[in-house]
Amino acid sequence: MSVYQVSCPGRTLILDEEQPLLEGGGFEPEPALWCVLESGHAGLHHTLAQGLQGGEGVPPVSLWLRWAEGAEFDSRREILPLSPCPVRFLAGTLQEDACGLPEAHAGRHGFEFGPPISEADTTPYWLL
Ligand SMILES: [Zn+2]
Ligand SMILES: [Zn+2]
């Protein structure tokens, strides 16, 4: 979830009918979100729409919103759970950091094109 532009200028809005889907998760759903992938990436834009903490045997889930360039609100737009990218920065050290993007994402890893801008851009530890 990014309420600020990180890199890619792609931007979308959470539709009224999508709001109920995003209630009750780890984030306060934000109505306007920036794509979190690297600027100039191939394929669909992606933004983290919500994190569901799980519990009682249910693993935490990241719900991603993805959409095609110039087609923010058509039928190719979807909200779906995606696994996190497994690549970690400085794995095994104190500075270890997660990529924060979905598995098999386009462009460079999240830690390669700039740090989170605010608390709202940081993925909760229980999703990593
Ligand atoms: Zn994008
Ligand atoms: Zn990655």
- Size of the chain in residues: 128
Tens of each residue's pLDDT in the chain, 128 residues: 566 676 888 989 888 888 888 888 887 878 888 899 998 999 999 999 998 888 888 888 899 999 998 877 776 789 999 999 999 888 888 888 889 999 999 999 988 876 555 666 667 778 77
Ligand nearest the Cα of residue 2 is 1
Which ligand has the shortest distance to the CA of 9? 1
Contacts (Cβ under 8 Å, ≥6 apart) of 82: 46, 62, 64, 102, 103
Instruction: Classify residue 83 by burial, with Cβ atoms within 10 Å: 0-12, 13-18, 19+.
Output: exposed
Phi/psi zone of residue 16: left (φ > 0), alpha (ψ -120 to 50 degrees), beta? alpha
The residue type of 95 is Q
Surrounding ion ligand 1 within 5 Å at CB are 8, 10, 35, 37, 45
The alpha carbon of 28 and the centre of ligand 2 are apart by a number of angstroms equal to 24
Predicted structure pTM score: 0.78
Ligand showing the shortest atom-to-Cα distance for residue 35: 1
